[in-house]
Amino acid sequence: MSWSKVFTAIKGMVSETGETIADNQAIRIMDQELREASNEINAAKTELTKIMAKRKGIERNVNDLGQKITEHEGYAGAALEKNDENLARDICERIGDFEEQLGTEKSLLQSFTNSEQTLKTNLKKAEGRLKHLKQQQDVLKATEAVQSAQSAVASRFSGSSSKMGGAMDSLERIKKRQQERADRFSSAEELAEEVSGDDLDRRMKESGIGAGTAKTDDIMARLKAKK
């Protein structure tokens, strides 16, 4: 391999390492941002509970004022029945104060109700986006882990390819040596047969020559002829 190719390979490794570090840093930054977003949502929920509590208090004030107005209208009617217009007027004046307070409380109630509904809607959207981002983050982390594993496997396989090639060569050499040894054993057996005469007997038998070559039919014919 030329030095220029080696230098190019090193540059590629450095670039890939830098990208990996940047990706890991980006994931950590995303973790921090999602934690901060979750904290802000929790803080918004706390504020929402405060607004809801105030809205409930105002609702009670509105209901109380409505009841007081109804009660005092009954008092004013009773005073008029007794022809006590001065008392009825004073009661009506109090009713006017109650109605003025009721108007103010109703205005506040509407404001808090609108704010509560707006916050609930925005929180629901924010929680939905946060949930989606967390799901995407889980996918990114899982993909990053799988690709890192694939990279590690590919790197180990590439590094061990020469060793695997050497192992294959050794296997072929052993198989060749074992075959040569088996051939030597077979040749030795053939030589031993030739020396002992076993080989000649075998060859005669195969050619149908010798005392042991009588056929069954020949033996049967000879025995029949003697009868």
- Neighbour-count burial for 4-21, b at 16+ CB within 10 Å, e otherwise: eeeeeeeeeeeeeeeeee
- Digits of tens for pLDDT over the chain (227 positions)? 444 544 454 445 445 555 556 666 877 888 888 889 889 999 989 999 999 999 999 999 999 999 999 999 999 999 999 999 999 999 999 999 999 999 999 999 999 999 999 999 999 999 999 888 888 888 888 888 887 787 777 666 555 555 556 667 777 888 888 888 877 877 777 766 665 556 666 666 666 665 554 566 666 677 767 76
- The gap between the terminal CA atoms of the chain, to the nearest Å, is 96
Give the domains, in start order, of the chain with CATH numbers.
3-165 (1.10.287)
- Name residues whose C-beta falls within 8 Å of residue 141's C-beta, 6 or more positions apart in sequence: 27
- Contact call for residues 201 and 210 (beta carbons, < 8 A): yes
User: From CA 80, how far away is CA 88, in angstroms rounded?
Assistant: 6
Name the token pair of 8.
């190019």
Question: Residue 118 carries which side chain, given as an amino acid letter?
Answer: T
User: From CA 191, how far away is CA 40, in angstroms rounded?
Assistant: 95
User: From CA 181, how far away is CA 179, in angstroms rounded?
Assistant: 5
Number of helices followed by number of strands (H, E) in the chain:
4, 0
User: From CA 125, how far away is CA 122, in angstroms rounded?
Assistant: 5
Q: What is this structure's pTM?
A: 0.53
